[in-house]
Copies of this chain bind each other. A is one copy, B any other.
Amino acid sequence: MPTRINQRPTQRQIAAQVGVSVTTVSRILNPDESHPERWASPETVAAIQQAAAQLGYRHNALAVSLRTSRSQTVGVLLPVVGDFVTASIYSGIDDVAREHGMTALTASTLDEPVLRAERTFSLLDHLVDGIIFADAHLDEDFLDSVATQAVPFTLVHRRHPDHVCVTADDVAAGRLAAQHFIDLGRRRMAVISGPRFMSTGVDRAQGFVDAIVEAGLPAPTVFDSALNVKSGGDATRAMLASSHFPDAIFAVHDGAALGVLSVLRHEGLSVPDDVAVIGFYDTPMSSAMELTSINVDLNNMGRRALELLLARLSDQQIESEVCPVTLTVRRSTDPSLPPGGHGPTAEPLTSTVQRAPHPAESSPQHVNPAP
């Protein structure tokens, strides 16, 4: 038993053992040539393959990358790591990367321009073949400067006007939320958006406002927030302090929606009787809190972002993609649904533009009859 410790076998070792040159070893171990067996006799091929297996040979990815200037690596820039949304997106990216024998390098930028630049350069130092940005800012031209570096990239989740991106259909999502509220007979709407530089919040709020105005209803107030529990709560308190309190709140992020629910409950207001609430992303918390939420396949968005990037790397023309959104109706907008949702195993109800009819439930506890 060859107890190799501390030393990875190299092609040189295989060559020495078999009695050929490293050239031949390299050619045999890279079957990507058009003529697979053109470079050696069957016996030599077998001998090399056997030696490689016996020594436990593996390519040195660094050496290969250095020589070929193709690293089989993509960089992924996330605003934060450890959050449901970005983690789901990354998961999809990672899947595709693995399917293509590539490695995904991640870095978090905290939405800070300096950190983003630093970490982008750090990825480039590793000669990534391409980059996926999940943290685009609408108003920055950092991406243009990256384009100068001749490293292809795509955006995911947040869009930028000048670059290819894979986003949720955020405008449609906003319209979906608005239409749901309108169908419920709500009239005084509000929307909790995110920072202005995030296309997600901006587009969702835009769709929401547009649909409501088109329906002839008063334009909803737009609150900017940091899209977390605390800022959602703060926005809600701001609403409570204002003269006309809404009867329907659309938060473009479940975290913010949770803050909304928490403050409403704390203030003794009933959901959805007094205020209906819609969140976004349909996180596990949504079902736990019986929060109506908009769903988009984040995993698939990640997949598509990398697939587009790979297409681009194959010199194909690529175009931005918009992923469909659905609305999962729960008790935060529809009290006629049974408490406890549909049990822990049930799939959420989904709809594309209108609320889908939901199947009769075993114990429909009508807390309040629908208006």
Taking beta carbons and an 8 Å cutoff, which residues of A are in contact with B? Answer: 3, 5-8, 58-63, 65-66, 71, 80-84, 87-88, 90-91, 94, 98, 103-108, 119, 121-122, 124-127, 148-150, 229-230, 232-233, 255, 258-259, 261-263, 265-266, 284-285, 288-289, 299, 339-341, 343-345, 363
Contacts and interface: CB of A to CB of B under 8 A. Distances in A.
Contact of A344 (B6, B230, B288, B339): B230
A77 to B, nearest CB: 12
25 contacts: A5-B149, A5-B150, A7-B150, A58-B121, A60-B66, A60-B125, A60-B127, A61-B127, A62-B65, A62-B71, A62-B126, A62-B127, A80-B91, A81-B90, A82-B299, A94-B106, A103-B126, A104-B106, A106-B106, A232-B344, A233-B343, A258-B344, A262-B343, A262-B344, A266-B340
A5 B149 CA distance: 6
Copies per complex of this chain:
2
B344 A229 contact: yes
B84 A91 contact: no
B343 A125 contact: no
Given A5-B149, A232-B344, 16 more contacts: A62-B66, A62-B71, A81-B91, A82-B88, A82-B91, A98-B119, A103-B107, A230-B345, A233-B344, A258-B284, A258-B288, A259-B344, A262-B344, A265-B339, A266-B339, A284-B285
A28 to B, nearest CB: 18
Contacts of A108: 91, 94
Contact of A263 (B7, B88, B265, B343): B343
A82 B78 CA distance: 13
B103 A233 contact: no
Contacts of A98: 119
B148 A262 contact: no
A233 B345 contact: yes
Contacts of A90: 81-82
Contact of A103 (B5, B84, B122, B285): B122
A252 to B, nearest CB: 17
Contacts of A229: 284, 344
Nearest to A92: B82
Closest 8 CB pairs of A and B: A233-B344, A82-B87, A6-B150, A82-B91, A266-B340, A265-B340, A61-B125, A259-B344
A13 to B, nearest CB: 16
Contacts of A232: 344
A145 to B, nearest CB: 11
A293 to B, nearest CB: 13
Contacts of A62: 62, 65-66, 71, 126-127
A59 B66 CA distance: 13
